[in-house]
Every structure is written in structure tokens, then in C-alpha cells.
Amino acid sequence: MSGCIVVVDDERDMLLLLDRIISEESDYRVETFDDPQKALERVQLGGVDLVITDLKMPKMDGISLLEKIQSVDPSVSLVVITAFGTIETAVEATRKGACDFITKPFRRERILVTIENVMNFQSITRENNALREALGKSNGFAQLLGTTPVMRGIFDRIRQVAPTQGTVLITGPSGTGKELVAKALHTHSRRKKSRFVTLNCTAIPENVLESELFGHVKGAFTGAWKDKRGLVEDAHEGTLFLDEIGDLPPILQTKLLRLLQEGEYRPVGGNTTRKADLRFIAATNRLLKEEIARGRFREDLYYRLNVINFELPPLSERRGDIPLLSHHFLKKYATVNGKTITSICPLAMQRLMALDYPGNVRELENIIERGVIFCQTETLATQDLFLDNEPPDVPGNDSRSWRHLPFKEAKDQMIASFHRQYIDALLRDNNGNVSRAAQKAGIQRQYLHRLMKESGIVTDDYKGPNELE
């Protein structure tokens, strides 16, 4: 992780000390200033992530510097350093926007942990802002979202294919968004003012499927007491989407082939042929060539449908889209359920990124919806997702999940994983009593609270019926 840290102190020895500590233990670029005004001018130039400043300085105190920096660039994080006797002033600084304060004398580890926490927060904030911006920029394809190369390629093909009359076959596992692609093709076609009609070939019993597709005339069969329009007629001059075409019965495959070839069909029980002006889009999660080899699907129908093919990848092959999709579903279901959940904690996102998703995007959507329903804070945490039955697959448990990462990133992920597992065990052993857990761990209670917040852990999940903190 890279970034720029500005250190401000009127004591040169302190500047040298902080410069050495940060430079030796991190990849951050450090710039030191003994004049607060010059530090402010440096912030105005941009590119500064964090300012660490002493509170007591002769030319400008830390509080004043903090206020001026916030007016210049609110995105810059601030940490103040203070002597033990001025802690009240440091608390005032945190009320005015400082992320944290460090008291002198301080330990090397205290400085480094504080910096990592603040810079991680900066990174998460930037990521959330980027995701909001990406969600705000509609690609014109409704709920079809993605920024990975494979999805950008699909969006480009939709733009190319949509204005044409070509028949389209969309393949891919269940839950990958095949119907969304079909709707995007219709919405951007010359037929967009006419209807988009869907026939799910698996949802309708075989004995009524033909009538549903082509309609029937009065008296065609028992119960046919009047003429009925079929979906083909409903979709005239529009788009007919045949979902799960691989499950279409053989007899209907023959009749559909005629409709595709001649643009003609006949209602059940009818004697006259009717014309249909349609664009056909079909989708399936089956491997149609295997179905052809087994005699379950007509080869000539396959080639009629497969003029243009869209193959949608499983979510496991586009993991880079998981954060964007997760935030989209979070916003959607927070609105539906009247909740003010605005973010996903890093550990929860890490867990979401590690899942296999056999149900693909639909499975991710279900997980986020469930999490929103159970979440009681403004941040979706790991325990809200109810993934305890899933195998633990987070960095630190299996070297294969992090060994391909750069050293610094792998270390950060392993530390986050260690924090979560250690704190979880610690709180379980102490029935959620934070004070006792902190004492047992040999750390400050406030520090444990901070680690819990970063890991998305709440004490209520660990407390017994009579346990008080």
C-alpha cells in the first residue's frame, strides 16, 4: 500500500524519529515540516493522505492546523500527537475531525498501528466512493453490472448486436444474468417500443406449453371455451425471449423451428396460418451440443438459434465485480427494507470475495438481502451474512489464497484475518465482556473496541443472558 504522510512538529528530533519509524516499516512516502504553514501549503498541492501533527506548536497549534486542512481538503485524514497532560485538547481534536490521537511518550508499534488503521480507512473510503461513482454511472443496461474485462466485452457486444435483427442464443450457468442481457438487447433495439415477452420453457407444463406459445382457438380441447392469444402474437413486432430453451419438448422444437424459418405459426386447433414479426432471443444453462448428441435437442434448431452467441461467465470468473454488485444489492435491499445501511465492513467483503458462488450473481444477491434484513447497524458485518456453515476460506487459513499477492497486501490480509479470529475466540472465552477480554489480552479496552469495529464484531453475539460489560 502506498501513500503520502505529512508529519508536522516544531521539534526536529521528533520529525527525524517519526520519519525513521514510518519509512523503515512501511512503503509510505514521508514529508516532514517544522512549520505548520508550510505543511498547509503542501496539503494544498494535493496528493496527501494523512497528516500527523503535534498539538503544541508556537506558530500555529495543531487544532488550528486541523481546521485549516479540513477546509482545504476534507479527504485528508489527521492524527494528533500530544503530551499526557493535554489529552483533553486531543479529545477536542477528535471531535473536530481528527481520526485518532497519540500520547507522548509513545511506542513504535502504537504509531504504526494507528497509521495502518487510518490508511486502511482511507483505502476503504476511496473504494466505496469509486463504487458509488460506478453505480451512479449507468451503462444503459439496467441491473447488468460489471467493470471486469469480460463484462466490458459483453457490454460492447450488446451495443453492436442490439440494433440488428440477429437471433441470439445466451448461454451460461444459472444465476449469471441471462435474462438481463436479453432485456438489454431489446431495450437498445429498434423494437424497444414494442413488447418484450418471456416464455420460461421449464415453468409451464408440457401439455399447455404449445397453447401458451401459439395460442388456441375455441373448442381446440376441453376447457378451450374461447379463443386465446399466444405469446407469439403478444410479442408481434417486439422480442420473444425463450428462457431455458434446452428444456423445450421435442414436438415444440419442430414447431418453433418453422416459426424461426418461415415466420409462420398456427394456433392449437386452428386451420389458418398466421404471420409473426419477431426477434428471437433464447437462453439456456444446458450444453446444447451435448443435448444434440443425446438426441434431446434438434441440431437444425440449434443452428437457427445460435446466430449470435453470448456466453456469460460464472461469478467465480469475474470476482472483481463482487464489490460493485454487493454495494448495488446493499443499496437495493436497504431501500426496500427501510434501513440506513451504507457500507460493508472489510472483513465481510473479504469473506464475500472468497466464496465459490455455485448460484452465481443470484446467490450473492440472496446473501446480501439476508444480511440487510439481519443487520442492526449502518455497516454490514460478517455475522450478518450467516455464512457460518460455509468452509472458512480467508487469507491465513490456506496459503493458496494469498501466496500470489504482493508481500504487503498478503501481510495486511493475514493480519486482518488474525484479528478477526483472535478477537472472536477472546470474546467467546469471556462471554462478550470487553473489559475482561482486553485485560486478558494485555491491551487497552479502547484499542480492543477499535479492532472490533474494524472487524465488524459486536459484543451482543457473545454475551450470556446475565453478562454485563
Q: At what angle do helices 87-95 and 62-72 cross, to 10 degrees?
A: 10
Same domain, 182 and 279: yes
Q: Tell whether 374 and 440 lie within a shared domain.
A: yes
Number of domains making up the chain: 3
Residue 279 lies inside a defined structural domain of this protein: yes
The answer to whether residue 275 scores a pLDDT higher than 50 is: yes
Average pLDDT over residues 9-16: 90
Residues 164 and 306 in one domain: yes
Examine the domain organization and report whether 324 and 451 are in the same domain.
Answer: yes
414 φ/ψ angles, rounded to the nearest 5 degrees = -70, -35
Cα(37)–Cα(5) distance, integer angstroms: 16
The β-bridge relationship of strands 279-284 and 239-243 is: parallel
Let me know whether 95 and 31 are in one domain: yes
Q: Judge whether 457 and 419 are in contact, CB under 8 Å.
A: no
Do 155 and 251 have their domain in common?
yes
| 124 closest CA partner among 340, 323, 375, 336 | 323
Q: Is the pLDDT confidence value at 149 over 50?
A: yes
Task: Say whether both 157 and 305 belong to one domain.
Answer: yes
- What's the pLDDT score for residue 390? 44
Tell me the C-alpha to C-alpha distance, in Å, between residue 306 and each of 279, 284, 289, 343.
13, 11, 11, 42
Tens digit of each residue's pLDDT (9 = 90 or more) over 412-427:
666 767 777 778 778 8
- pLDDT by residue (tens digit) across 135-148? 455 555 556 788 88
Who wins on pLDDT, 69 or 455? Answer: 69
- Indicate whether 427 belongs to any domain: yes
Which secondary-structure segment (H or E) carries 168?
Answer: strand 168-171
The domain boundary residue, chosen from 105, 135, 165: 135
Q: Which of 100-114, 230-244, 452-466 has the highest mean pLDDT?
A: 230-244
Q: What are the distances in angstroms from CA 418 to CA 78, 286, 314, 381, 446?
A: 27, 42, 30, 16, 19
The whole-number average pLDDT for the span 249-271 is 89
- Cβ-based burial of 161 (10 A; exposed 0-12, middle 13-18, buried ≥19): buried
| Contacts (Cβ under 8 Å, ≥6 apart) of 24 | none
Q: CATH code at 167?
A: 3.40.50.300
The rounded percent of the chain whose pLDDT value lies above 70 is 84
Query: Higher confidence at residue 387 or residue 462?
Result: 387
Whole-number pLDDT of residue 393: 41
Going along 377-446, which residue ranges are E strands?
379-380
Q: Are residues 89 and 210 in the same domain?
A: no
**Residue 4 is inside which H or E element, if any?**
strand 4-8
- What is the pLDDT at residue 399? 44
Kindly report the backbone phi and psi dihedral angles of residue 82, in degrees, each rounded to the nearest multiple of 5, phi listed first. Answer: -145, 155
Runs of H (alpha helix) within 30-107: 36-44, 62-72, 87-95
User: How far separated are the first and last CA of the chain, in Å rounded?
Assistant: 36
- Listed in sequence order, the DSSP H helices in 45-142 are 62-72, 87-95, 108-136
Q: Are residues 290 and 340 in the same domain?
A: no
Q: What is the pLDDT of residue 395?
A: 41
**What confidence score (pLDDT) does residue 210 get?**
86
Q: Which three cell numbers, joined as nine digits, stand for 160?
A: 453492436
Position 467 in a domain? no
Residue at 170 is within a domain: yes
CATH code where residue 393 lies: 1.10.8.60
pLDDT band at 392 (very low <50, low <70, confident <90, very high): very low
Neighbours of 430 (CB within 10 A): 21
In a domain, 14, yes or no: yes
Query: Are the C-beta atoms of 51 and 79 separated by less than 8 Å?
Result: yes
Question: Is residue 92 domain-shared with residue 160, that is, in the same domain?
Answer: no
Whether 182 and 325 share a structural domain: no
**More confident of the two residues 369 and 465:** 369
Name the residue among 339, 326, 325 with its Cα closest to residue 373. Answer: 339
- pLDDT higher than 90, residue 238: yes
- Residue at 363 is within a domain: yes
Spatial contact of 299 and 257, defined as CB atoms under 8 Å apart: no
* Residue that wins the pLDDT comparison between 138 and 383: 383
Confidence of residue 293 (pLDDT cuts 50, 70, 90): very high
User: Domain span at residue 393?
Assistant: 319-461
For the full predicted model, state whether its pTM sits above 0.75.
Answer: no
Range with lowest mean pLDDT among 66-70, 378-382, 384-388:
384-388
Instruction: Write down the pLDDT at residue 388.
Output: 57
- Of 232-236, 288-292, 438-442, least confident by mean pLDDT is 438-442
**Cα–Cα–Cα angle for 98, 102, 108, nearest 5°?**
130
User: pLDDT by residue (tens digit) across 22-75?
Assistant: 888 888 889 999 999 999 999 988 888 899 998 888 888 888 888 888 888 888
The last residue of one of the domains, among 313, 342, 376, is 313
Q: Domain boundary at 269, 287, 313, which? A: 313
Cell numbers describing residue 280:
428471437
pLDDT score, position 128: 57
Residue 412 maps to a domain: yes
Q: Is the pLDDT assigned to residue 171 strictly greater than 90?
A: yes
Cα dihedral sign, 310-313-314-315: negative
| Residue type at 29 in one-letter notation | R
Mean pLDDT of 168-179: 94
Average pLDDT value for the chain:
82
- CATH assignment at residue 94: 3.40.50.2300
Q: What is the pLDDT of residue 157?
A: 92
**297 and 385 belong to one structural domain:** no
Residue 110 lies in a domain: yes
Tell me the pLDDT band of 403, cut-offs 50, 70 and 90.
Answer: low
147 compared with 4, residue with greater pLDDT = 4
Helices (H) and strands (E) in the chain, counts: 18, 14
Percent of the chain with pLDDT over 90: 33
Tell me, what's the pLDDT at 425? 78
